[in-house]
Amino acid sequence: MHFEKTGIYHVYNQGNNRQKIFFTRENYQYFLGKIKINVLPFTDILAWCLMPNHFHLMVSVNEVELPKESIKALPGISPSSILLTHKTSTISLNHSIGIMLASYTRAINNQENSSGSLFRSETKAICLNEISGISSEWYSSYGVTFMKVLIPEYQYPQACFNYIHNNPVNARLVTRPEDWEYSSFAELKGLCKETLSNKQKVEELGLVI
């Protein structure tokens, strides 16, 4: 993954061989805690959705690297699960996302008495605004449908924003996006307590829920 400051990115991954990655409500909540530790210090989160076998994050990057000591643990999550064997004084967003997925995998393997990779080997980070020649793209892969749009006016953050929030409806898990507990739709609509999304940043970017 490659990140640049001020970039808006769609970050996603899914279960290896399309397997489930969330088995209980507590798993979803635990993963949200990991996002707060490992992603939020670097970004403003614009939209998110956790699905039974994959996840989506839409983020605006503020920093691509931070001092390691600035990454703080939340109650119930060990600091060692954040930093692992990272030896340098700084940590990048790219590496922090890798740590998040690795430590979550260990927790699920312990829970399910399993072993091996939980996620696909490559987490995707698609830039939705053009920075240093990086342009947006979409595609379909391994049972998860992503848009690949050649028309420029559709290559922009609102399309991703809408897609993420409609993912549970498109998967026929719910009939309305606000009925899916594990996404940013309800919090951005003011229907529940905010957890991750930066509503002010969403409004500044002109994104419409």
DSSP string covering 28-93: HHHHHHHHHHHTTTTEEEEEEEEETTEEEEEEEES-SEEEGGG-PPPTTS-THHHHTT--SSEEEH
Q: Is the pLDDT of residue 65 over 60?
A: yes
Out of 44-53, 96-105, 128-137, 191-200, which region has the weakest mean confidence (pLDDT)?
128-137
Question: Residues of the chain with pLDDT > 90: what percent?
Answer: 64
Instruction: Determine the Cα–Cα distance for residues 205 and 107; give it in Å rounded to an integer.
Output: 36
Cβ–Cβ < 8 Å for 97, 87: no
Out of 16-20, 81-85, 146-150, which region has the weakest mean confidence (pLDDT)?
146-150
Quickly state the pLDDT bin for 138 (edges 50, 70, 90). Answer: very low
Average pLDDT rounded to a whole number, residues 179-190 = 95
Q: Which pLDDT value is given to residue 142? A: 44
- Is there a domain that residue 209 lies in? no
Q: Which pLDDT value is given to residue 76? A: 59
- Is there a domain that residue 68 lies in? yes
Higher pLDDT: 69 or 9? It is 9
- Is there a domain that residue 34 lies in? yes
**Structure confidence by residue, pLDDT tens digits, 82-124:** 555 556 788 999 999 999 999 999 999 999 999 999 999 999 9
Q: Within 13 Å and on the Cβ side, how many CA atoms surround 208?
A: 0
Quickly state the pLDDT bin for 192 (edges 50, 70, 90). Answer: confident
Give the distance, in angstroms, between the CA of residue 82 and the centroid of all CA atoms in the same chain.
Answer: 16
| CATH, residue 64 | 3.30.70.1290
Task: Fill in the amino acid letter for 109.
Answer: N
Instruction: Report how many domains make up the chain.
Output: 1
Residue 53 neighbours by CB under 8 Å, 6+ apart = 14, 15, 18, 19, 20, 21, 22
- Is there a domain that residue 1 lies in? no
- Is there a domain that residue 167 lies in? yes
Residue 133 is part of which domain span? 8-204
Quickly state the pLDDT bin for 70 (edges 50, 70, 90). Answer: confident
- Is there a domain that residue 150 lies in? yes
Higher pLDDT: 69 or 113? It is 113
- Is there a domain that residue 3 lies in? no
Cβ–Cβ < 8 Å for 124, 97: no
